[in-house]
Structure 1
Amino acid sequence: MLENLQAVEKLKIAVVEELKADNEKTFDEMSDRIRSMEESISKLLKLNKGAQKSKDVSEKNDSTVQTNNTTNVVPEKSVLLKHVFNNVDWYQNDVIHSSEWEDHFNVNWRMLTLRRNKQYLGFFICCDPIAPPEKWSIELKVECKVDGRNQNCVIRAWERCHKTNEAQGISMFLEWEEMKHWYLVDGNLSVETKVTIIETSGFKKEKIRHVRCSNCN
């Protein structure tokens, strides 16, 4: 009986020792995992801090560029011409019809229309400096819009370099029958033209350049 009790006691001690060893092993494993997680978190925090710093620098640079761009914007020099040409359906072939002269930037401007070869509507811009030097040039970008019935409209754009006061434009701006059907309202034609000055030369300020264009030699 005593031997049995001693055997049970030894077994209990062995079990307790085994449990303690397992607990110590589990504790060590948990400690290692916690230490590894702390190291990973520390690395992530450093990476996030570096990324935020780079982002702040980038945003600062973008802000500087935006400010510089805004500061260096050159104001656009443009003219808006509007006119209603009356009785267009009665135009005779190659007879010029014009709007009134308008003075903008010391230059007189007007629009011209005519019927070409009985098949087309021609549209032109004329610019005439008020006090022109011996040699001068004005390079233009032209955007012409014709408003018609039922909210129809047509827009044509082109660039020209004017060195004389002769009109320049598009001789076949619209087919005549198309123009009569879609754009005449009670025989009248409403035209709105935006003329942007790209470059001038020969005037008091020898050369004022806004946009480069290859049409002017």
Structure 2
Amino acid sequence: MTDGNNKISSENIEEEGSASKRQRIEEENSQNAENNANDQHPLTLRMMYNTCQEVLEKQKNIENFNTEIVDELRFFKNELQLIRDDLKPKTVTAAVPIKADSKNTTAWNPENKSATMPTTGKCFVLRHVFKNVSNMKEDEYRLSEVEEHFGVKWRMNVRRTKEHLEFHLQCLKSMDTVNWTIETQRKHVLVSNRVENKVMESIRIFDKESPSWGWPEFIKWDVLEKDFLVDDKLTAEIHVKIEKTTCIYKDNLRSFDETMEEFSDVVLVVNEEKFYVLKLYLAAHSPYFKALFLGQFQESKKSEIKLTGIDADDFQNYLELLYGESAVDEFTAEGMLMVADMYDTPLVIRKCEQFLLKESKKTLKKKLGLSTRYSLETLKKKCLAEIKSIGDLQAVLPGNVQDLDKSIMGELLEKSISLHN
């Protein structure tokens, strides 16, 4: 009994000891777990904090980067707008150059009732004295001599109706199949030394369908006889300014249209037609264009400049000759001389003068007139040398001697005295 009880008691003691040991181990593990948990909590917070800081830093960098992108985009947007503004055509009108000694300085004035009307541009005056006017019968025509101006022939005609005088301007351009047009301002004048001149004005376009324009009842016949005849002579004038022409001259030899845009740095606009050219090339040949393009003027910074007082066809021919083409002929010479004189271009003037000297079939009167108008001294000397008779001298004189250029009066007088002697 005793041994058995002792054995049971010993086992119980061992079991109690094991339980106590396990309890202590569990408590220790629990305490260690708690301690570990307490130890890991600050670490976790630090890791989370650092992660948040990194995220915030990245966010800040992204925001800064986005701000830089936005600023750069704004900058490029402004730059692009400036480029667009520079690329947009900026049209200004260049002043028409007027030389100090120019013979054509009076602008066209529709209210001007004087018998003379010098103007800038393509202008001319037809003048004729009709004789034995009171003997004209009803429906009888009288014609002036034909004159060539700017490559086209012109003349005036009058006709007596029952009670009036008709007064017309005729354009003698060939009636071919080309749809040519000549837009004009016209001033028809009957000259009187007793009353105010009879003047009527109009803007008309001549073409192959309408080659003649005028007034069928310009003046009553009885008024004409009373106030306008001097020794039975009637002095009539037509002042013409050619505003615009189409299909008058030959086909273009060189293009200056938009196909030449990449080879140009300025656009010159003449009567709504655009010419793409190089500033430096024109400036090298013309003091006017040098001042316009390279001077301290507003126009020098523009990409599109409007030129006034000239015809687009004449400017086309002028550019062609300046660029080396053989553009001068009987039809184009006068218009090119006008443009070259206006823009002070010696090369074009010289080539036109050479043509008039060696090739042109224009009348001696016409050549002499061009030589005095555009100061072509070599041509003037040649014309004067060709006046070898009184008949030649009379042929070069204008209908009204007062219209004779003063610069040549002395030389013609000396020629007249020489011929008479």
Give the TM-score of the pair, scaled to structure 1.
Answer: 0.58
- Residue 99 of structure 1 is matched in structure 2 by 144
Describe the SS at the equivalent of 1:129: coil
Aligned counterparts, 1:6-155, within 5 A: 68-70=94-96, 75-116=120-161, 118-129=162-173, 134-150=178-194, 152-155=196-199
Structure 1 counterpart of 2:140, one-letter code: V
Residue aligned with 1:92, SS: coil
SS at 1:150 equivalent = coil
Q: 1:23-46, CA deviations, whole angstroms, 9 ceiling, x for partnerless residues?
A: xxxxxxxxxxxxxxxxxxxxxxxx
Moved more, 75-84 or 174-183: 75-84
Question: Could you say which structure has the larger radius of gyration?
Answer: 2
- The answer for the alignment partner of 1:180 in structure 2 is 225
Shift in Å, 1:68: 4.2
More helix by share: 2
Structure 2 equivalent of residue 62 of structure 1:
none
Residue 236 of structure 2: which of 157, 173, 191 is its match?
191
Q: Is the 8 A contact 1:125 1:168 kept in 2?
A: yes
Q: Following TM superposition, by how much is the alpha carbon of 1:151 offset from its aligned partner in structure 2, in angstroms?
A: 5.4
AA aligned to 1:81 is L
Matched-pair contact (CA < 8 Å) for 1:148–1:182: yes
Aligned length: 144
Aligned partner of residue 168 in structure 2, secondary structure: strand
1:129 to partner: Cα distance: 2.5
Give, in whole Å, the separation in 2 of the partners of 1:103 and 1:87.
26
Shift of the 81–139 alpha-carbon distance from structure 1 to 2, 3 Å rule, reads: same
Distance 1:122 1:154 in 2: 13
Shift of 1:178: 0.6
**1:158 pairs with 2:202:** yes
On the 8 A contact 2:194/2:228 being kept in 1, the answer is no
Q: Relative to structure 1, is the Cα distance of residues 146 and 75 closer, same or farther in structure 2, using a 3 angstrom cutoff?
A: closer
1:115 deviation in Å? 0.7
Q: Distance in 1 between matches of 2:149 and 2:124?
A: 7
Structure with the bigger percentage of strand: 1
| Matched-pair identity in % | 27
Q: Deviations over 1:141-199 (max 9, x none)?
A: 11122112325421111121111273211111001101110111111100122111111
Match of 1:56 in 2: none
Shift of the alpha carbon at 1:71?
A: 5.1
| In structure 2, C-alpha distance between the alignment counterparts of 1:154 and 1:103, rounded to whole Å | 25
For 1:181, the aligned partner's letter is K
Q: How far apart, in 1, do the equivalents of 2:181 and 2:94 lie? A: 31
The Cα shift of 1:104 comes to 0.8
Alignment partner for residue 213 of structure 2, among 168, 171, 175? 168
Preserved CA contact (<8 Å) 1:152 1:182: no
- The answer (yes or no) to whether the contact 2:169–2:238 under 8 Å persists in 1 is no
Do the aligned residues in 2 keep the contact of 1:107 with 1:130 (CA within 8 Å)?
no
Q: Secondary structure at the match of 2:194?
A: helix
State the one-letter code of the partner of 1:149. Answer: N
- The structure showing larger relative contact order (alpha-carbon pairs under 8 Å, at least 6 residues apart) is 1
Which letter does structure 1 place at the counterpart of 2:200? Answer: R
8 Å Cα contact 1:108-1:130 kept in structure 2 = no
Could you tell me the TM-score, scaled by structure 2's length? 0.31
| Unpaired segments ≥5 residues, structure 1 | 1-66, 212-217
**1:127 Cα shift?**
0.9
**Structure 2 unmatched runs, 5+:** 1-92, 99-118, 252-269, 272-307, 310-421
